[in-house]
Amino acid sequence: NKPTCKVSLPGDFERYRKDVESISVLFKLYDDAGKSVPSGWTLTGATFEVEWPKDPQVASSIRSHFGARRFAYNWALAKVKSDMDAKKENSDHKSTPWTLEALRKQWNQEKNEVAPWWGDNSKEAYASGIADLVQALSNWSSSKHG
């Protein structure tokens, strides 16, 4: 039962904490020396290990959920880009706000058309992809405006 994938998170672990703890039920945390670290501790670096499931159906389901997350991220990014282009052409264009609530509502209105297979995965897979984009857009916007 040796884990098959090690991911190193160098530097200030606090930058990664939210992401790691959102999936901590799947992973064990280790300090740089390889000692197991309980969740909630402050770390300056961390490594976590993952054992890929041997059951092909479980592995397929995990891939599907990660794919759904990425699909929703890309869908939301395309929506934002489309809105930005439309706004350049027509200043009266009503864009979807760059919030989780607004983009998720738009997703729910369009998901049957753009992803008829959406029900094969948890709705949270899509929500987390959209949330990732909202954070990325916030970071990008902050970098543009100082």
Q: Which helix (H) or strand (E) holds 77?
A: helix 56-89
Give the model's pLDDT for residue 79: 97
79: nearest Cα among 141, 24, 134: 134
CA atoms within 13 A of residue 89's CA, in its CB half-sphere: 9
The whole-angstrom separation of Cα 96 and Cα 68 is 21
Structure token digits, residue 109: 């209105």
C-beta separation of 43 from 60 below 8 A: no
Could you report the per-residue pLDDT of 36-62, keeping only the tens digit for each? 766 555 555 555 666 788 888 988 998
pLDDT surpassing 50 at residue 24: no
Cα–Cα separations (whole angstroms), residue 29 to 4, 8, 19? 14, 10, 13
Could you report the per-residue pLDDT of 79-136, keeping only the tens digit for each? 999 999 999 999 999 999 999 999 999 999 999 999 999 999 999 999 999 999 999 9
123: nearest Cα among 106, 109, 104, 136: 104
Contacts for 76 with CB less than 8 Å, ≥ 6 apart: 103, 107, 129, 130, 133, 134
pLDDT surpassing 60 at residue 26: no
Kindly report the number of other CB atoms within 10 A of residue 120's CB atom.
13
pLDDT surpassing 80 at residue 32: no
